[in-house]
Structures are given as C-alpha cells and as structure tokens.
Amino acid sequence: MNQIFSLFIPKDKTFQPLFEEGATNLFNISEALVLFIRSKDKEGKIKLAKEIKALELVGDKATDKIYEELNKNFIVPFDKQDVHALATKIDDIADDILAAVLNMELYQLDTSNEAMLKLGEIIAKMCSELAIAIKEIKHFKNKQLIVDICFNVGQLESKADRLYEQAISLLFDNEADAISLIRQSDILSQLEKTTDKCDDLANVIETIFLKNA
C-alpha cells in the first residue's frame, strides 16, 4: 500500500537534500572531534576547534531550514513528527560534540586520555553509519541495511557504556588531583552522552523505515 501511495507523492526535493547535508556534516564534525582529541599541537587544536564550531553552525542552519520548510509545506516525505525528530536528533549530536570540545578548550585538558580517544572514535564510527542510513531515507528500499546499521549503532553504544564505566573507575583509582578528576570525568560523561544521542538517532531512523518501507 505504501508503494502504491508513494506513486502519487511528488519526489522530495526539499527535505532529503537537507537531511543529506546534515548527515555529511555529522560525519565531518565527528571526524574533526577525533582529530582534536588526538592532536598534541596547541595551534592544531585551536584550528580544529574553529572548524568544529563552523561545522556546528552549518548543522544549525540546515536544521533551521528543515523546521522552516516543515511549517511551510503541506506535503512532506513522511510523518511531520518524524521529520522534526530526525532533524532534531542530528542537531543534538553536533551540539554535544561542540560542547565537549568547548569544555576541553576551557579546561585546557590533556586529551591524551586513551578512553577519550576511544569514545571519540566510537562517535565517529556511529556517525559514519548514521550518515549512510540517513542517505537511504530517500527511497526506503534497503530495509535490511537500515536494520543492520541500527543494530551496529546500538552495539557501539553499549561498548561506549562499558568503556566509560571502566574509564571512570580507573580515573577515581589513579587521579590524585581533584580538579583534574572532575574535569576529566565531565568530558568522559559528555562523550558518553553523545553516543546515547547517536543511538537515539538510530532509533528514529529505524522507526521511520518501519513506518514507510
């Protein structure tokens, strides 16, 4: 029935390009996060932080445009609430990545902490998978691919939870400086929460596919 109904709906030329822009931006900002954490060069970190701030603004503009088009258009590619949820969840991840980077800058934190890098790499992997899934929304054909991606993202989120718990335990066992302990635990918490947001986005994507495929 959905396939028959879709024949009478004009091809989406408004929302999908914005979703794909958001997906690409999400991939780029997550890759920049990993480079930022990995970098030991102060000037390099400053440059990467500026890049991340700029990418977050690009994401904000795409999200605002989706909200604007959602209010203007009667015909949308799928349920309006799902369009809004998809745009919001994409934006949430970019916001969380920027927040983590801003706090690392504020704390002047040594990001050589292995757990921070591993969490950053998990976020980048999740965003890479999610970007693929978002680009599949335009035709709702590869349902199994979406199921697999959402499962993988869920597995990565569980891995991040375990990594976070281990890192916090080690931090409390080994960090003598109370201020450093608080700052490092705050960043680890922010990164772990970002993986939760990635899992939230995967759930939204899977719901959209189940409704429309």
Domains of the chain, CATH where assigned = 13-212 (1.20.58.220)
Confidence of residue 207 (pLDDT cuts 50, 70, 90): very high
pTM over 0.75? The answer is: yes
Structure tokens at 88: 């919001």
pLDDT at 114 over 60: yes
Q: Is 50 exposed, middle or buried (0-12, 13-18, 19+ CB in 10 A)?
A: exposed
Average pLDDT over residues 181-204: 96
pLDDT at 7: 39
Are 120 and 33 contacting, i.e. CB atoms less than 8 angstroms apart? yes
Q: If you write DSSP's letter for every residue of 93-107 in order, what string do you get? A: HHHHHHHHHHHHHHH
Which range has the top average pLDDT, 65-79, 110-124, 143-157?
Answer: 143-157
Contact 202, 153 (CB under 8 A): yes
Using CA atoms in the order 83, 84, 85, 89, what is the torsion angle rounded to 10 degrees? 110
Q: 3-class SS at 121?
A: helix
